[in-house]
Amino acid sequence: MEGPLSNVRVIALENYLAGPVASMTMADLGAEVIKLEPPQGDLSRLTAGPNHQGEPSHFLSWNRNKKGMVLDLKTPAGKESFYDLVRISDVVINNFRPGVMKRLGADYEALKQINPRVICVNLSGMGPSGPLRDRPQVESTASGISGILSVTGEPDGQPVRPGPAISDLANALYAVIGTTAALYQREQTGVGQNVDVSLLGASVALMGYHISYYTCSGVLPEPLGSAYPFTAPYGAYQTKDGYVVLGPCWPRITRAIGAEWLIDDPRFTQTEERLKNRRELDKEIEKYLAQATTEEWLEIFHHEDIIAGPLNTVDKVIADPQVSHLNMILEIEHPLGGAVKLAGNPLMMASLDGKHTSPPTLGQHTDKVFSELLGYSDDKIRKIKEEQEGHAE
């Protein structure tokens, strides 16, 4: 795929979500991403759930536009081949626990001796140092530690995990930002550097306005369902046949639904009063919204220039004409047969050609990388594979 990162080669050692999302985003931007997997593969290949030709949907979600290569860094030949790749690459990215890359001889201190221009990007759970560095974390625990779960869900309800893996996705996107910044700086200095981003740090960063809300008021933020702490009405409201989601809309919403009397009600006149009496206001609004369908209200709200949208289920998202227009649902031919539909990349740039390749099968491009990129002979490739097979046994 052609793009602004077309001159960048990324070596990805990764599992599950945060690392794969980061490297896939760089691949979407044109980088050549070589995904190195041990003989058993990325652990997300073993996840349960739906699949395409035996390839799990979880793996398919985050691994398009990459070359897949089986390489065991715990074997001498695998380590040698990895170093050969590092010599001709720009970025090495991993989402292992702190210390793993050092034990593999693949941390920045080791790799910069091989390639002073290399940029090493590490996505960890708790960060590269500190008293809790070695505690394992996943996105749900990071969401708990960072406070995300404390403000997610319905008022007075149980904590609710956000549907998307918010902490992992934030960790991945911050990693991409750090990588592109390091690439830009390397253009000026000629040398690479080490980039660290943590699941915990990225999660806390997402809590920005909740943290300042507390530090400025001393009041603990609480779950608000689909509402917003700084304005009301706001969020998802039930209609005759579903839900409509409202953005900032006061006081025009009162005229649109025929409830102008709400403007003069002392409970709702001022912003602070509406926030204090949010539940009562929402109930009053829903009494009116129950009189018509979501589509009928959306037509009215559009005419009145009120920010509103439907609450779509995934099937409706995929069929949405605007989503389709933005090329956010990709249909990619898979090497095992058929096509897979995947969520696209929201970035639109003149330098992106819009072409995509399927997530690789395990080791799909191993021989090609060895022969075309590293110039290995058939005999050397055979010996590397035999050593890896022997080590696996």
Which residues carry out catalysis?
168
Q: Cα 79 vs. chain centroid, distance in angstroms?
A: 30
- CA separation for the pair 286, 162 (Å, rounded): 25
> Of the candidates 82, 45, 37, 48, which has an alpha carbon nearest to the alpha carbon of residue 62?
45
Q: Which helix (H) or strand (E) holds 261?
A: helix 261-264
Listing DSSP states for 105-123 in one string gives: T-SHHHHHHH-TT-EEEEE
> Of the candidates 344, 209, 239, which has an alpha carbon nearest to the alpha carbon of residue 300?
239
Secondary structure (3-state) at 309: strand
Hey, CA dihedral for 252, 256, 260, 265, is it positive or negative? Answer: negative
- CA separation for the pair 55, 334 (Å, rounded): 10
Cβ–Cβ under 8 Å, residues 330 and 343: yes
- CA separation for the pair 139, 18 (Å, rounded): 9
Hey, CA dihedral for 12, 37, 56, 18, is it positive or negative? Answer: negative
How far apart, in Å, do the first and last CA atoms of the chain sit? 37
Torsion of CA 349, 351, 356, 360, to 10 degrees: -110
